[in-house]
Structure 1
Amino acid sequence: MVSAASADEAAKRRALAEAAEWFAEWQAGEMSATERQRWQAWWDANDTHRWAWQQVEGVSRRFTDNLGKDERQTADSVISLARQRRRGRRHLLGGLASFALVSVLTAALWQSTPLPRLVQQWGADYHTATGEITRIELEDGTQVWLSSASALDVDYDHQRRRLQLVAGEVLIKTGKDPERPFYLDTRRARLTPLGTHFSVRQRQADELLSVFEGAVAIQTHGDASQVVDAGQQASYAANGIGELNPADGNRAAWANGVLLAENMLLKTFAAELSQHHHGRLEVDPEVANLTLLGAFPLDDLERTLNMVETTLPVKVRRVMPWWIKIEADETSSSEE
């Protein structure tokens, strides 16, 4: 019998291979309207396809940027041969050149995509898809809000209450149970809240703890420790804890489906918004440091981008169906 984890892994492998093939189609030249419709149908089919496309697009971009001169020439030759093959044959996996391109992408993907962690995320007690936010109430009255693309395990017994943040971001209001201590374990630390309201976000290099009520004790896996009180926040990694700073109360607004911007840089805004949507959201450096003020819905990308266009002298351009770029509005600047 095939386990659920094995089935998930097989599905991800298939999706990554298909995404790499489609990416090669894009690289090979202009696609016909029919091919674009086929790609769109594949992309719309399920979350696994969209996840795989994000991995291919992101990793292939990083991989290409890091190629040496000889490797870059080889990659260019592969793409050139793929273009030639498309004139007589559309199915890219049919030839060695196309297979080489897909193999390069898949190898790079597997080096940068920790598949066991992804399988663990999908198999967690609670998990959310990209763009999904969910609220959970546990047996002791603890309230948990799980952000986009996040995962959480719950391990309660007679002696303790333990949560494990597998991925993403969580907002917690702890319930009262003096007989059982409460812990939140993350990749880099154990957090012990003391009757509190706090959030934790996992990032690539560290984690961010923001405390809104009570206090939370951090004990990193490298044995660094710090108590963070209400109104404070701190970033930490396994080997150390950063300085205490004032907590940004707006950070918790995502639990209500809102992105609050209070003089927020546009590049920061786009990075936050990207956490809740598939595809690539890019900001041109020319407008990256413009600031935003307002409340923006996280679940309605088109409405939010329209609000940004109305608020700032920018325009939103779709480079590809999955790639959105925010640029300077030349019309607005010429009118001035």
Structure 2
Amino acid sequence: MSQLSEAIRQQAALWAVKMAERSLSDEEERAMTAWRDEDPQHLDALIQAQQLWLMLGALPRSAPADSSPNTPSSTVVPLPARAAVRARWRHWATAAVVLLALLPVLFLLPDPWLRWQADYYTAVGEIRQVTLPDGSRVDLDSRSAIALHFNDNERRITLLSGHAWFTVAPLSRRETRPFRVEAKGGITQALGTQFSVDLAGGGADVAVHEHSVRVSYKGQTLVLAEQQGAHYADNQLTRRPVAPAQFAWRRGWLIIDKQPVREAVAQINRYQSQTIIVINPTLRKRIVSGTFALNQPERAITTLCQTLGAKQMTLPGMTLLY
């Protein structure tokens, strides 16, 4: 089967939603039939959309459209909705429409763009150390990227993605330029030798391992001493304790400590190409803990499913939890 375009997938998902929620009007039936018969790919996409809903358990268990050779190509079986499931269905359908529309490219588009911007970049599951022109060292977590902006006045690095640990070449007679890391609108300036910056949601986490740093964000400034941390996002800069889990990746481990499932899954996704997506909104809010080897991220998902009693469905490039 040829690659289905995003537009075809999205339109197929919308028709599947309408047919599941209610009977189509005569006008809608004619429009759906015309669209379906316009291109064989349209029928393929509609069948896939209906099958996905059924596998997720979001629809009544009617038969999906059958594309077998014995079935006329013009036949698509509508999936009637019941009043008791309509409210729940609307939520699931909305999430599924997005998934179908983005299925071929979900989480893949940023990589070429990051590679183009970055001076150093790590692939999925890769952790590496790089030495900068000034002798500083940077440990890059999986799916991380940095860009260098060194000039006569400063040593500035932009953290484009992921998590980086900096061991800074100190100021000296020969090296007088300040060392700064820019991330999500904030600047962390080294006043010592070791610190880390981690992009987190719409902001960043900063942790100091040796000596101190100055963090500036939206007109606010904090000086952090050894074993102190800060988080900035949404126009706020706040202190926060440093947890061992923040550095476990350098030893090959992922530590999840009383975090919502949505955050735990976001961390696991850093280390594998099979993207995990949590469909069930209630499940995303559940709190979980655990310690997992980074070279076996699939075990983390298996453990989460067993602990939460969740189901999973594997699709090309992604696994859905619900």
TM-score bracket for this pair, using the shorter chain length: 0.5 to 0.7
Aligned match for 1:211, one of 208, 211, 230 = 208
Q: Give 2:316's aligned residue.
A: 321
- Aligned partner of 1:85: which letter? E
Q: Answer whether contact 1:209 1:233 (CA < 8 A) is retained.
A: yes
Deviation at 1:77, TM superposition (A): 9.0
Deviation at 1:247, TM superposition (A): 1.5
Q: Give 1:281's aligned residue.
A: 277
Deviation at 1:236, TM superposition (A): 2.0
Q: Answer whether contact 1:274 1:281 (CA < 8 A) is retained.
A: no
TM-score normalised by L of structure 1 = 0.59
How many residues align? The count is: 247
Secondary structure of the 2:142 match is: coil
- Aligned partner of 1:186: which letter? A
Secondary structure of the 2:211 match is: strand
Does 1:186 find its partner at 2:186? no
Secondary structure of the 1:269 match is: helix
What pairs up with 1:134-283 in 2 under 5 angstroms?
A: 134-157=128-151, 160-178=154-172, 179-180=175-176, 181-220=178-217, 222-237=218-233, 240-278=235-273, 279-282=275-278
Structure 2 distance, partners of 1:317, 1:174, is: 44
C-alpha RMSD over aligned residues: 4.1
Structure 2 distance, partners of 1:146, 1:75, is: 53
Deviation at 1:263, TM superposition (A): 3.5
Structure 2 distance, partners of 1:298, 1:253, is: 10
Q: Give 1:21's aligned residue.
A: 5
Q: Answer whether contact 2:305 2:312 (CA < 8 A) is retained.
A: no
Secondary structure of the 1:259 match is: strand
Kindly indicate which of the two structures has a greater share of residues assigned to helix. 1
Deviation at 1:267, TM superposition (A): 3.2
Aligned match for 1:129, one of 123, 126, 130 = 123
Q: Give 1:330's aligned residue.
A: none
Q: Give 2:21's aligned residue.
A: none
Kindly tell me: are residues 250 and 286 of structure 1, through their superposed partners in 2, closer, same or farther at Cα, counting changes over 3 Å? closer
Structure 1 distance, partners of 2:278, 2:41, is: 35
Structure 2 distance, partners of 1:19, 1:301, is: 28
* Structure 2 residue runs without a partner (length 5+): 18-26, 46-96
Q: Answer whether contact 1:125 1:154 (CA < 8 A) is retained.
A: yes
Structure 2 distance, partners of 1:247, 1:241, is: 18
Aligned match for 2:288, one of 288, 291, 303 = 291
- Aligned partner of 2:136: which letter? T
Kindly tell me: are residues 83 and 232 of structure 1, through their superposed partners in 2, closer, same or farther at Cα, counting changes over 3 Å? farther
Q: Answer whether contact 1:163 1:185 (CA < 8 A) is retained.
A: yes
Deviation at 1:20, TM superposition (A): 6.2
Aligned match for 2:37, one of 84, 98, 102 = 84
- Aligned partner of 2:118: which letter? A
Q: Answer whether contact 2:187 2:215 (CA < 8 A) is retained.
A: yes
Q: Could you say which structure has the larger radius of gyration?
A: 2
Secondary structure of the 1:132 match is: coil
Structure 1 distance, partners of 2:301, 2:109, is: 32
Structure 1 distance, partners of 2:115, 2:41, is: 42
Structure 1 residues 274-324: Cα deviation after superposition (integer angstroms, max 9, x where no partner): 23334342164247424223x2123433233234356x2534512523332
Does 1:301 find its partner at 2:285? no
Q: Answer whether contact 1:195 1:215 (CA < 8 A) is retained.
A: yes
Q: Answer whether contact 2:265 2:276 (CA < 8 A) is retained.
A: no
